[in-house]
Structure 1
Amino acid sequence: MSDLKKMYTTIQEDPFPQDLTVTLGGQTLVFAKKTWTIDGEQKGLRYGENPDQPAALYQLKDGALELGGVRFRGPGRGLVSALTEEHMIQAGKHPGKTNLTDVDNGLNILQYLSARPAVVILKHNNPCGAAWSAEGLAKAFERANLSDRIAAFGGAVVVNRTLDKATAELINAGYFEVVAAPDYEPAALEILKTKKNLRIVAIPGLAVLADYVGEPFLDVKTLMDGGLVLQFSFRNRILEVADFLPAKTETKDGKAFTARAPSPAEAQDLLFAWAVEAGVSSNSVIFVKDGATVGIGTGEQDRVGVVQLTIHKAYTKYADLLAFERHKLSIHDLREKAASDPALARSLAEIEAQTKADRGGLPGSALVSDGFFPFRDGVDLAIAQGVTAIAQPGGSIRDWEVIQACNEAAPQVAMVFTGQRSFKH
């Protein structure tokens, strides 16, 4: 067992060269491999996605790229790829690929949430909880963490404001592997450093992420045969409430369908949810309530299936919060102990009944979907859980049917179109 544990801390010797040059139609980009001296050892990435995969991180150092009249992000704009030893305030060990890509996806989401203090907690390159709050960073972290307390365990915390003492105390009350912020208050660092295995990273660019919005980078996908797919990175067109499109359509026989417009509060939740959606693996939906995620469904194969899955997850997380509040146990631990403890069994039954009655905390929430609804079944499921507003791309031949589902609801459910899909494969 001790030998197996060593593979997670052993640094793979990588065979990758110091420089990488990419030429596209006469335009040349030059990248340099990143290494860091930590505990006297100069190495790059510890390993890739798994401990037996050598890996390397490269930073764009020189060159410019323009395609179709669009200029791509160039040198001097590095964030995660620009990390130095100075930025790794507490490294513990050389970073692995997954540590950095989780943080990177946090930045990908937070670039659209600069208006308020915001927090994203990520696991396996997906957000498990996200929130923003005018009340400050600590409140945003608390709500993001409570969005999915179970999944947040061992995750990466990424914030868009200087991390203060109050937020540090909340982070230290749980277990996280990485925390990234634009800067840290001295008192916050003192608290965070008591967790010796916590990687503490400063990324100054987190404070100016809004400057990166609309500026694409070259997104490279590698096929298993070694081939490449190049694409422009996703550019979110919904940057403010006014960017949403009215949900309206007309059938072939000329019958018009128009959905209710969202209230200002509903529109803000849809705006927040669509920003988070940019970092979620498709096929996905997200439930949001009062600026915090309530349920995040990822990577399902069908639209109605992902709604079902996300509702199930929301119920589980809601029951877990009740179990933790009453017994300081997770819902899974409570179920195990209830099998031999009659008092806990009664409490478990009460928690499950309350969760069902409260519909997992979903009533009053807003829903976004990264792709259009091909049928009304997914929308009907969400409405049955008390959703009051929905945002989706639109463009289905059955948009009329989906709008009709919202209009038939009592009370009537709002819907808007985003005019773009947000798939992330």
Structure 2
Amino acid sequence: MSDLKKMYNTLSQDPFPADMTVRLGEQELTFKKRTWEIEGETKGLRYGENPDQPAALYELVSGGLEFDGVKFRGEGQGLVSALTEEHMLQAGKHPGKTNLTDVDNALNILQYLYAKPAAVILKHNNPCGASWSEEGVGTALSNAFQADRIAAFGGAIVVNRPLTMEAVEVIDSAYFEVVAAPAFEEGTLEILKKRKNLRILQIPGIMDLEKLIGQPFLDIKSLMDGGMVVQFSFRNRILSAKDFIPAKADKDGSSYTARTPTTKEADDLLFAWAVEAGVTSNSVIFARDGVTTAIGTGEQDRVGCVELAVTKARTKYADLLAFDQFKMSIFELKLKALKDEEAAANLAAIEKKAADDKGGLTGSVLVSDGFFPFRDGVDLCMAQGITAIAQPGGSIRDNEIIQAVNEASPQVAMVFTGQRSFKH
């Protein structure tokens, strides 16, 4: 067992060269491998996705691309890949691939949430909780953490405003692997650095993320045969509530129109669609008051996404109740309930309340990264008490989906995004 534990503490010396060049036609990109001087030793990435996979991080240092009149992100715009020793305020066990790709995907989401202080907590390259709030990053981070206290364990926290003492209180209450922010208020680092394995990253460019919107990067998907698929990266077209498209459809000579979202519903839909940019497909996101209330991700069917999100929401809700009342997780309470009648009664009461309260989903809005091919997923969403939906539109059954929301009491609003947000 000691040998198995050792593999996670072993640095994988990568064999990759110091430089890399990518040429597409006559256009060329030059990259430099990123290494850091840590404790008197030159270190690159800790390892790749797994400890037995050597890996290297490369920063684009020269060159640029332009296709079909669209200029791509280029040199001088580095964020995660541009991290230096100065920005690595504490290396912890120093970052591996998954630590940095989690931070990168958080930035992918936060670029669309620049209008308010926001926080995202990621695990396995998916957000487990996200929030934005006019009350500041402390409130946003607390909300994001409460959205999924279970999955947040060992996660990466990224905020889009200087980290405050209020935010540090949240971080200090649980175990996290990475914290990244554009800056750190006085006194916060002293507390954070008490956790020696915590990776603390300062990324000043977070404050200017909105400048990257609309400018794609070269997205490369490698195939198992050594081939590659290259594509323009996803570009979110919903940057304000007015960018949503009214949900309308015509079928057999009849026209169908959905209710328009209220201002509050539209704001929550805007927030949730921004978070959707960083969620693995198929996926749906429930959100209320600028906080994710459930995220269903990585499912093969649309209704399965909703079922997963609903089930997870009830578990997370029950966990919050258990922690608030008994200072133990729902799983610890279940274990205690096996031998303790009082604990069993407490567990039953908590599980009943979680079911009665629909996992806290009532009043949420919902976004879906793809259109609903059938109304079953929509009906299941509405059974949880949602009030509005945003989805790409374009299904041959859009009329049936609009009929479904119009039949709801109270009537559920719906808009189209006019674009799909798949991420694989």
Encode CA deviations 1:4-42: one digit per residue, 9 max, x unaligned.
111112111111111101110111100000110111110
1:45 is matched with 45
Equivalent position SS for 2:9: coil
Tell whether 2:57 aligns with 1:57.
yes
Task: Note the C-alpha offset of 1:182.
Answer: 0.2
Question: Any unmatched runs of 5+ in structure 1?
Answer: none
Between 352-361 and 218-227, the greater mean CA deviation after superposition: 352-361
The code of the aligned residue for 2:233 comes to S
1:327 is matched with 326
1:400 is matched with 399
Contact 1:36 1:94 in 2 (8 A): no
Separation in structure 2 between the aligned mates of residue 191 and residue 210 of structure 1, nearest angstrom: 30
Tell whether 2:114 aligns with 1:104.
no
Task: Note the C-alpha offset of 1:195.
Answer: 1.1
1:67 is matched with 67
1:307 is matched with 306
Contact 1:147 1:295 in 2 (8 A): yes
**Aligned-pair Cα RMSD in Å:** 0.6
Contact 1:169 1:191 in 2 (8 A): no
Separation in structure 1 between the aligned mates of residue 256 and residue 166 of structure 2, nearest angstrom: 49
1:143 is matched with 143
Between 34-43 and 1-10, the greater mean CA deviation after superposition: 1-10
- What TM-score do you get using the length of structure 1 for normalisation? 0.99
1:16 is matched with 16
The code of the aligned residue for 1:179 comes to V
Separation in structure 2 between the aligned mates of residue 199 and residue 421 of structure 1, nearest angstrom: 34
Equivalent position SS for 1:375: coil
Encode CA deviations 1:99-131: one digit per residue, 9 max, x unaligned.
000000000000000111000000000000000
The code of the aligned residue for 2:303 comes to V
Equivalent position SS for 1:191: helix
Separation in structure 1 between the aligned mates of residue 43 and residue 11 of structure 2, nearest angstrom: 8
- What TM-score do you get using the length of structure 2 for normalisation? 0.99
Matches within 5 A, 1:348-367: 348-367=347-366
The code of the aligned residue for 2:295 comes to I
Task: Note the C-alpha offset of 1:94.
Answer: 2.7
Separation in structure 2 between the aligned mates of residue 356 and residue 11 of structure 1, nearest angstrom: 46
The code of the aligned residue for 2:314 comes to Y
Contact 1:118 1:141 in 2 (8 A): yes
Encode CA deviations 1:73-116: one digit per residue, 9 max, x unaligned.
11000000000011000102331000000000000000000111
Task: Note the C-alpha offset of 1:186.
Answer: 2.3
1:36 is matched with 36
The code of the aligned residue for 1:224 comes to M
Contact 1:165 1:191 in 2 (8 A): no
1:216 is matched with 216
Task: Note the C-alpha offset of 1:176.
Answer: 0.3
2:420 is matched with 421
Task: Note the C-alpha offset of 1:62.
Answer: 0.5
Separation in structure 2 between the aligned mates of residue 296 and residue 148 of structure 1, nearest angstrom: 9
The code of the aligned residue for 2:262 comes to S
Separation in structure 1 between the aligned mates of residue 11 and residue 26 of structure 2, nearest angstrom: 37
The code of the aligned residue for 1:368 comes to V
Separation in structure 1 between the aligned mates of residue 140 and residue 393 of structure 2, nearest angstrom: 31
1:248 is matched with 248
Separation in structure 2 between the aligned mates of residue 352 and residue 44 of structure 1, nearest angstrom: 47
Contact 1:37 1:43 in 2 (8 A): yes
Question: Any unmatched runs of 5+ in structure 2?
Answer: none
Aligned residues: 424
Tell whether 2:229 aligns with 1:229.
yes
Separation in structure 1 between the aligned mates of residue 73 and residue 415 of structure 2, nearest angstrom: 31
The code of the aligned residue for 1:21 comes to T
Equivalent position SS for 1:150: coil
Separation in structure 2 between the aligned mates of residue 93 and residue 350 of structure 1, nearest angstrom: 42
Task: Note the C-alpha offset of 1:419.
Answer: 0.2
Task: Note the C-alpha offset of 1:185.
Answer: 1.0
Separation in structure 2 between the aligned mates of residue 145 and residue 346 of structure 1, nearest angstrom: 27
The code of the aligned residue for 2:104 comes to D
Tell whether 2:341 aligns with 1:342.
yes
